[in-house]
Amino acid sequence: MTFSIHGLAVARGIAIGRAVLMGTGGVDVAHYFIEADRVEAEIERIRVSRDAVAEELHRLQLTIAQMGPKEAPHELSALLDVHLMLLQDEELISGVKHWITDRLYNAEWALTTQLEVLSRQFDEMEDEYLRGRKADLEQVADRVLRHMAGVASPVAPPPAVARRKSQQDLLMDDSMDVPLVLISHDLSPADMLQFKQSVFAGFVTDVGGRNSHTAIVARSMDIPAVVGARSASQLVRQDDWVIIDGDSGVMIVDPSPIILAEYGFKQRQGELDRGRLSRLRHTPAVTLDGQKVELLANIEMPEDAPAAVKAGAVGVGLFRSEFLFMGRRKLPDEEEQFLAYLRAVQGMEGLPVTIRTIDVGADKPLDESLRDVAHLNPALGLRAIRWSLADPAMFLTQLRAILRAAAHGPVSMLIPMLAHASEIRQTLALIDFARTELDNRGVAHGPVKIGAMIEIPAAALTLKIFLKYFDFLSLGTNDLIQYTLAIDRADESVAHLYDPLHPAVLRLVADTIAECNRQGKMVSVCGEMAGDVAMTRLLLGLGLRCFSMHPAQILAVKQEVLRADTTRLAPWAAQVVDADDPAALLGG
């Protein structure tokens, strides 16, 4: 019987094959008290297993180092580093010793008990990315438990067995090798490496979020994947025919021949489309009439930089530095920030990186304890540059870290949510002060271009003031729409009124681009509008020549750029901006 299971779409594409179920990884753990004279021996037993797992992970890293980036991307090695760090985590080690020494638990019991303690701490974290690291901790503990039990971590396709041909077999021509897809409760980075070396065409996991390591690796490998499918590993039977729709986040089990044929066509069409787009990676983004267009990437962590390069980005147009600050008990110091920015600069291999200073508040609180509940409109309160100027010591720390990173490659600095000339002058004075502090300390720093986000109508209406002070501007269309239309973009009840094509929004966008072009200042769009292919022709027609977006959108937008003639688009774009109903003309 055909049925579907819904999860989160994390890596695009369609995979069709027979299901291989991987065990949940749960190892039966014995619980017993040890004699007091066994404490040291029990601690030694778990230490030996921990060291053996560390050696195993190091061997996997060596294997990765011998592979090409397509076989084993950078993210995989970085995730193994995370597991190695967790193995050495002091809170994990001291906790296990505590349960063995003070409670006389056996080693396995002590490990699972401490795992529960730490898991609760991860559960309480607000930041989704950090909450997702709980799965890494569970996998590290599972690996140690497996070693203690003498059980291997199995990610291998089952041996071929003779079976009666089903309708799907006949439809898929079972004379060929039948693809296999992996269904699991979760997958560790080490499992993923073996997974990559095997024959699996896609995977589904019961758990995981958009920022889980499985999702990160799947995207980097470009493998169709669905995570968070809850009970998928319990509902699917070994060897079932399965379709993974990584575009929609759906798994279809035991599909009928008609559904199978439909998805087979969709799969072939998708492969053709992606193949065509991938050939554009090294093609310069130039319009039919010879206008050169810069396609940049938005990133949230330094580890995103390699994916941006792989996608064909010619730089980072928006590094959201606030993700370095969120979901943690202590703000990162200057050295930690400097190293993070440096990794991003190095990851971009000489291409320019634009780092936005911290933009927190409203829908991006640093921590639940800091959530603004005292004000009715936190989006209009102390956020972004207002927050930074209210805490000069924190802001100067970030400014110094950015200036230091600029000594190692081309770096620009982007200031969010400015509205007043006084804020501009105060910000620039602090940047000068940060330079002076580094000079006094004898610390190297580099030149930076300084830009401002245009995301408040007041800023868009006083552009000449901004252009007097800044080297470039960047339109943050998400907030610009929110503030222009008085729509809280986090409020589902008014989400239908959030309209990028509202005439007022388009007027602000058009006038900002025109004024920057008139004064010879660079302007980009870094909001969702930049990555929406339905908007590419309009923005080109308005004179935009720099787009910054999620790396996954770059090639699709480039395709639109290559097909565009800006001399023909310009008069049409002017009509769209002047129209009462711009959406009606967008397809023209």
CB neighbours of residue 554 within 10 Å: 26
Complete DSSP assignment for 421-443: HHHHHHHHHHHHHHHHHHHHHT-
User: What is d(CA 174, CA 32) in angstroms, rounded to the nearest whole number?
Assistant: 51
Is 516 catalytic? The answer is no
Q: Is 356 annotated as a binding residue?
A: yes
Q: Which of 213, 445, 516, 546 is an active site residue?
A: 213
Nearest to 105 by CA among 116, 90, 119, 89: 116
Phi, psi of 519 (to 5 degrees): -95, 5
User: What is d(CA 300, CA 323) in angstroms, rounded to the nearest whole number?
Assistant: 6
Q: Is 537 annotated as a binding residue?
A: no
Q: How many CA atoms lie within 13 A of 419 on its CB side?
A: 14
User: What is d(CA 192, CA 272) in angstroms, rounded to the nearest whole number?
Assistant: 26
Q: What single letter denotes the amino acid at residue 183?
A: I
| Chain centroid, CA 41 distance in Å | 43
Question: Per the structure block, which two tokens stand in for 165?
Answer: 């041909």
- Contact by Cβ (8 Å): 243, 255: yes
Is 526 catalytic? The answer is yes
Q: At what angle do helices 39-65 and 189-197 cross, to 10 degrees?
A: 40
Alpha-carbon Rg for the chain in angstroms:
26
Q: How many CA atoms lie within 13 A of 471 on its CB side?
A: 12
Q: Is 478 annotated as a binding residue?
A: yes
Q: Is 441 annotated as a binding residue?
A: no
Which residues line the annotated binding site for Mg(2+)?
455, 479
Which residues line the annotated binding site?
320, 356, 455, 478-479, 489
Which residues line the annotated binding site for phosphoenolpyruvate?
320, 356, 478-479, 489
Active site residues: 213, 526
